[in-house]
């Protein structure tokens, strides 16, 4: 069935990007300079605040904005 195949492909894609995101977060937290895939600006770790309990990884433009509670 075509629909089942598409769904499986979608799940695979999601799992891959989830793992990529985790790897990226680890690198940034380790002090590596990682560039945003969209704007090619360095990603920064933002410390936890009242708004962001776990902190986040973000570029200056905001096209990359990852909450750390998924780790
Ligand atoms: Zn960006």
- Predicted confidence pLDDT, tens digits, the chain (71 residues): 566 777 777 777 778 888 888 899 999 999 999 999 999 999 999 888 777 678 889 999 999 998 887 44
For 8, residues 6+ apart whose C-beta sits below 8 A from its C-beta are: none
Supply the pLDDT for residue 71: 45
* φ, ψ for residue 44, nearest 5 deg: -120, 150
Ligand 1: distance of its center to the CA of 4 in Å?
Answer: 34
Supply the pLDDT for residue 2: 65
Ligand 1: distance of its center to the CA of 41 in Å?
Answer: 6
Surrounding residues of ion ligand 1, Cβ less than 5 A = 36, 38-39, 59, 61, 63-64
Ligand 1: distance of its center to the CA of 6 in Å?
Answer: 29
């Amino acid at each position: 069935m075509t629909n089942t195949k598409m769904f499986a492909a979608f799940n695979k894609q999601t799992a891959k990007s989830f793992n990529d995101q985790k790897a990226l977060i680890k690198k940034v937290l380790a002090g590596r300079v990682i560039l945003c895939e969209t704007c090619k600006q360095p990603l920064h770790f933002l410390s936890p605040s009242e708004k962001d309990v776990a902190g986040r990884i973000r570029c200056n433009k905001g096209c990359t904005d990852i909450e750390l509670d998924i780790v």
